Amino acid sequence: MLQITILEAAVTICVMIFVVSFIFMGRKFNRWKKDNVPFLKPKPIFGNILDVCRMKITFGELCKNIYDGISTPFVGIFILDKPGLMIKDLDLVRDVLIKDFEYFMDRNLANNEKHDIMGSNMIFLMKSPKWNIVRKKMTPIFTTSKIKMMSVLVQRCSEQMMDYVSKKTIQNTVLDVRDVSLKYAVNSITSSFFGLEAGCFEENGSIFSVVSKRIMNWKRFSTAVQAICFFFAPFLVKLFSMNFIDTMSSNCLKEYFWKTMNERETKNESRGDLLDILREMKKLEETEKLESLETLRKYPILPFLDRRCNKIYNNVEHGLQLQEDDSVYIPVMAIHYDEKYYPNPEIFDPERFSRENVEERHHMSYLPFGEGPRVCIGKRFALLNLKSGLAHILLDYEVKICRKTVSVHCVNPRGVTLQPKSEVYLEFVKVR
Ligand code: HEM
């Protein structure tokens, strides 16, 4: 009788799993060829994102490599076995983001409603029709007039940051600006939108400081793997019941927000009170913004945009047909570094954003906040925040690179968003 050892049985099972996955995951690989769309040859199982799954490069960098290597207006790729279209032509980018938005309302990101209540209720992850309702509700909070009202709170946060910087630089003139920026951003957002004092600059830190660091810590292997799954392998998110924000962080946030909500109810306070106070406050002077715009060109936090095709799409002008559930990718960072739109793209040159220069460029050549109905809702607030923070620092300090500075070009390959690999130490020299 045929006898099989445990080792042989294990090897046989592994081979079978590999062969089945190989066949199963490769069954869609003829899709672009069949539709006569130029495409990149996929690798078994991983399609075209093997190096991203191995965390050798980020998806943003992969998009840039693909963009630089093609001369066609678009190219077919495979995210694992799922067909995706990478777009290079800016008119087609405009069609997807704005003109034909009704076909591309959602992002591809996983939305695990059953196991991840907090994550699935984040508007960024939401799908239509729920997204349409929530976006409509949120829009009035972000109008120009409301943002202007928030400017005094932002200014106060800038001043808190300056106190922190001036105290810290007595002992050591070199600071990690990534840490300072995160504290500043959390303080500004919580005070402007929720009327909460996050207290990130306080000596003993605060729960917000701990939680935001935890959420943004892409150095943690588990955070990086989860992010890759949310963007590129939604079936794994559902299979392993993953959460977009980890349980400890989401519990802390929930507890803090509920406590404050209850306090407000007891004291009979309302959001109206906050806005009333804001109305009386004075406005922040408009500060120069070209530097902020150029910074976001060189370092777009989201180096690619993605959309999911929600019904059959026919673009006659570009000879393109997409099926329901196809993914579309717009390589933002690659566009921002295209010589055609930005000569010598490595050079930091705020003049690129003078009115005349902007008018000469294609509208879709600058996408740090995305575009169309799903554009970043916090765009105006983010720019105000950036301007205020930078203006306050640059008024009092000259900020220089020093011996501890590691090049910010070292992108963290574990991040789906663009971020430096390590701390960004800079020297603060007082000028007044
Ligand atoms: C420099 C800072 C920021 C950058 C570069 C940025 C960038 C982006 C980008 C690229 C998107 C995707 C847009 C698209 O798919 O077309 C986005 C979406 C979003 N952003 Fe921002 N963002 C910033 C700050 C903020 C702030 C401060 C807030 C809120 C206070 C915010 C709230 C949102 C929301 C809610 C969405 C999802 C919109 C939707 O799906 O309808 N962002 N952001």
pLDDT digits 0-9 by tens, 49-65: 999 999 899 999 999 99
Q: Is residue 198 in contact with ligand 1, taking CB distance under 6 Å?
A: no
- At residue 282, φ and ψ (nearest 5 deg) are -80, 160
Q: Is residue 361 part of a domain?
A: yes
Amino acid occupying residue 323: Q
Task: Using the atom order of ligand 1, give the atom closest to the CA of residue 192.
Answer: 30
Q: What is the pLDDT of residue 275?
A: 33
Q: Ligand 1 center to residue 37 CA distance, Å?
A: 32
CATH of the domain at 143: 1.10.630.10
Q: What is the pLDDT of residue 169?
A: 95
Residue segments in the chain with a per-residue pLDDT below the cut of 50: 271-288
In the 8-state DSSP scheme, what is residue 141? Answer: G
Cis geometry, peptide bond prior to residue 129 (ω within 30 degrees of 0): yes
Q: Is residue 88 part of a domain?
A: yes
Q: Give residues with Cβ within 8 angstroms of 57, minimum separation 6.
A: 51, 65, 413
> Which residue(s) pair with 79 in the sheet?
47, 82
Q: Is residue 240 part of a domain?
A: yes
Q: What is the pLDDT of residue 144?
A: 85
**157 annotated as belonging to a binding site for a ligand:** no
Q: What is the pLDDT of residue 408?
A: 58
Helix (H) / strand (E) containing 315: strand 313-315
193, 376, 381: residue to mutate for ligand 1 pocket, most atoms within 8 A of CB: 376
In the 8-state DSSP scheme, what is residue 187? Answer: H
Nearest CA to ligand 1 atom 2: 382
Expressed as residue numbers, the domain containing 387 is 32-430
Nearest CA to ligand 1 atom 14: 370
In tens, the pLDDT along 338-373 reads 999 999 999 999 999 999 999 999 999 999 999 999
Domain count, the chain: 1
Task: Using the atom order of ligand 1, give the atom closest to the CA of residue 386.
Answer: 1
Q: Is residue 3 part of a domain?
A: no
Q: Is residue 18 part of a domain?
A: no
CA dist list (Å): 180 to 129, 174, 213: 38, 12, 11
Q: Ligand 1 center to residue 33 CA distance, Å?
A: 35
Q: Is residue 23 part of a domain?
A: no
Q: Is residue 14 part of a domain?
A: no
Amino acid occupying residue 385: N
Q: Ligand 1 center to residue 223 CA distance, Å?
A: 20
Cβ–Cβ < 8 Å for 240, 116: no
Q: Is residue 26 part of a domain?
A: no
In which region does residue 325 sit, left (phi positive, over 0), alpha (psi from -120 to 50) or beta (all else)?
Answer: left
